[in-house]
Amino acid sequence: MRGMVRRFDAILMMGLGMAIGSALAAQEPGVRIGLTYTPGSQPGIYLVPVRGADGDSVRRIIARDLEFGHRLTVIAPDSGAVVPTGRFNYPLYARLGAAGVVQLVLQADGSALVTLHDVVAAQAQETRRFALPGPRLSPAWRLAVHGIADVIEEWVTGTRGVAATRVLFVRGGALWRIDSDGANEQPVPGVGAALGPAWHPDGRSIAFARMRDDGTSVVVHELASGEERRVRTGAPLSLSPAFSPDGKWLAFAAGESGTDLYVVPVGAWDEPPLRVTVGRGSTNAQPTFAPDGRRIAFTTSRLGRNEIYLTDADGANPELLTSTALTDAPYRADPAWSPDGRFVAFSTQIDGRFQIATISLRDRAVRQYTTEGINEDPSWAPDGRHLVFTSSRTGTRQLWVLDTESGRVRQLTRGAAARMGAWSPRLLSVP
């Protein structure tokens, strides 16, 4: 892969108008070497038309996934394209602006054979067979196709994509889920009224707050079986659950006149939870773990207004995080710790409206990403680059996806109002 990346750099620097730096960062053994990008540049990848009844669907899904990843420039003409049957005309693909060519052949057994060609070297660089579980065009089939796109992105850039993920969200008081590209929008069966969903890191179970006549409770729900367990809290209000990155702990807020943070070992739902904060009547909620699980960011009203604080996972060493004001009337909430550990995303009130921002854990620098409408509830994709958030910019609250590097956004949900998006971990284990 190292040689392919260098050749990619060469062709892009020789007149394709996509300047990419040639410096390569050393990686640990087994980790693919990726391109070192200059801002705004993306290598061109040509997607060859795919033969077969589902060929157009497969190609369309992969093209959209790669475009949504914002790391590649996708070249996939829909008219006049010919499926190559003999030797590849690599110089032609080079003139079209392609550094790599992806060829996909649907097999009789339902699998897909995918090859990445290096245009400069004029040879195949990577080949892998992917299973596509039936029935075709089903959610499981589409998830497998998303997995192909993620591996292609990793072959070229060294970073696996996030197409094979889903987003939980709340609509009409019920819990829904949607694919990362906006397809397969459907309610989660058997859940009912829910708030504040969270994914377990294995992607097989979720937690949420269930509304009851006498308050709310935290529930853990197995997606495959529908089995549920209510977490013992001893309080009428329990909400905003969050799993630790290693999947061993569940944090949540609980209380009555105020709320504090608690943690409980996953699976020990009947044990008394361990208290993390002592709020003395203030509201302490919305926990989010650091990637190493050692610290928690959360929302608190202990200063008389909502701010984001940090604390050790056992409650020691609390400190104010959002000390840099973007407004004369600061109000911060909805923290989400990035998977790479560098940032906490949050919503902040500016000129009377909530907007999405991030704060650096290194130097406390704050960056605002939205200005249009009311924007809340950020949640990170597994790549630490994309965020899903709630926005009213179209007149109805919907989920939108933000690329934090380019600032580009795309609408994810449509129809009835949607909010409280929670981005899943990667849902496929592709070697």
Backbone region of residue 59 per phi and psi (left: phi > 0; alpha: psi in -120 to 50; beta: other values): alpha
pLDDT in tens, 83-102: 566 678 899 999 999 999 99
pLDDT at 130: 97
Helix (H) or strand (E) holding 286: strand 284-289
Name the 3-class secondary structure at 85. coil
User: Can you say how many angstroms the Cα of residue 280 is from the centroid of all Cα atoms in its chain?
Assistant: 35
Structure letter (DSSP) for residue 30: T
pLDDT band (50, 70, 90) for residue 57: very high
Selection from 105, 72, 71, 77 nearest residue 92 by Cα: 77
Distances (CA, A) of 247 to 86, 220, 251, 285: 50, 13, 11, 19
271 — phi, psi (to 5°)? -80, 150
pLDDT in tens, 142-188: 999 999 999 999 999 889 999 999 999 999 989 999 999 999 999 99
The answer to whether residues 18 and 42 touch, using CB atoms and an 8 Å cutoff, is yes
What is the reported pTM?
0.89
What number is the average pLDDT over the span 216-228?
96
Q: 26 versus 244: which is more confidently predicted?
A: 244
Name the 3-class secondary structure at 377. strand
Question: Peptide bond before 135: cis, by omega within 30 degrees of 0?
Answer: yes
Instruction: Tell me, yes or no, if the two domains 2-157 and 166-423 fold the same way.
Output: no
What number is the average pLDDT over the span 337-363?
95
pLDDT band (50, 70, 90) for residue 324: low
Is 236 a residue whose pLDDT tops 60?
Answer: yes
The two three-digit tokens of residue 275, written as one number: 């208290």
State the Cα–Cα distance between residues 367 and 248, nearest whole angstrom.
32
The answer to whether residues 297 and 306 touch, using CB atoms and an 8 Å cutoff, is no
The two three-digit tokens of residue 253, written as one number: 């807020």
Q: Where are the domains of the chain?
A: 2-157, 166-423
pLDDT at 337: 98
Mean pLDDT of the chain: 87
pLDDT in tens, 21-33: 222 222 333 323 2
pLDDT at 77: 77
The reply to whether CATH 3.50.50.60 applies to domain 166-423 is no
CATH classification code of 2-157 = 3.40.50.800
182 — phi, psi (to 5°)? 95, 5
What number is the average pLDDT over the span 40-51?
87
Is 18 a residue whose pLDDT tops 90?
Answer: no
Share of the chain above pLDDT 90, in %: 76
Backbone region of residue 149 per phi and psi (left: phi > 0; alpha: psi in -120 to 50; beta: other values): alpha
